Amino acid sequence: MDVRQRLSAALKDAMKAREADRLSTLRLINAAIKDRDIALRGTGAEEGATVSEGDVLAILGRMVKQRQESARAYEEGGRLELAEKELSEIKVIEEFLPRQLSEDEAAAAVEAAIAETEAASLRDMGRVMAVLKDKYTGQMDFGRVGPMVKNKLG
């Protein structure tokens, strides 16, 4: 079952169970995906085209990152109830993301991508990151992986 189907099923379950907070978050996810679908059609894609599974995972990853930043800002501002709301939304969103790679697994993935692309210098960093994004979208934080790649190639 792909992410869209799981999301649709979770949305129906949340409606039946009258879980207002969960339902709100699921609707936000759905809206973000539909916005991307509409933007894709605006680029001249064929009728009925939808974003790929990888794009959906990237959208979810961005949503988690945005909420983490918001929660941090709310905590610093003393607005703990708002920070808790953001953290609860993160939990709902993460249900649809694949398991995150550990630090060791991410390092092994970086090594494998460097070997696969035969990267030798920082000029090859883009190719290495492209391979990682193809294989591990939604499973690793590319903001943390970028410096790892840079250190290996630098």
Q: What local confidence, expressed as pLDDT, does residue 45 receive?
A: 65
Q: What local confidence, expressed as pLDDT, does residue 63 receive?
A: 93
Instruction: Based on the fold, state whether residues 32 and 79 are members of the same structural domain.
Output: yes
Instruction: Based on the fold, state whether residues 87 and 112 are members of the same structural domain.
Output: no
Percent share of the chain, pLDDT over 70: 97
> 45-59: per-residue pLDDT in tens?
676 678 888 888 889
Domain of residue 136, residue span: 103-153
Cα 72 to Cα 86: distance, rounded to the nearest angstrom: 9
Cα 129 to Cα 40: distance, rounded to the nearest angstrom: 23
DSSP, res 97: S
Beta-carbon count within 10 A of 112 CB: 14
Instruction: Based on the fold, state whether residues 84 and 122 are members of the same structural domain.
Output: no
Instruction: Based on the fold, state whether residues 90 and 35 are members of the same structural domain.
Output: yes
CATH number of residue 14's parent domain: 1.10.1510.10
Handedness of CA 65, 111, 148, 75 (dihedral sign): positive
Total domains, the chain? 2
Instruction: Based on the fold, state whether residues 25 and 84 are members of the same structural domain.
Output: yes
Look up the pTM and report it.
0.75
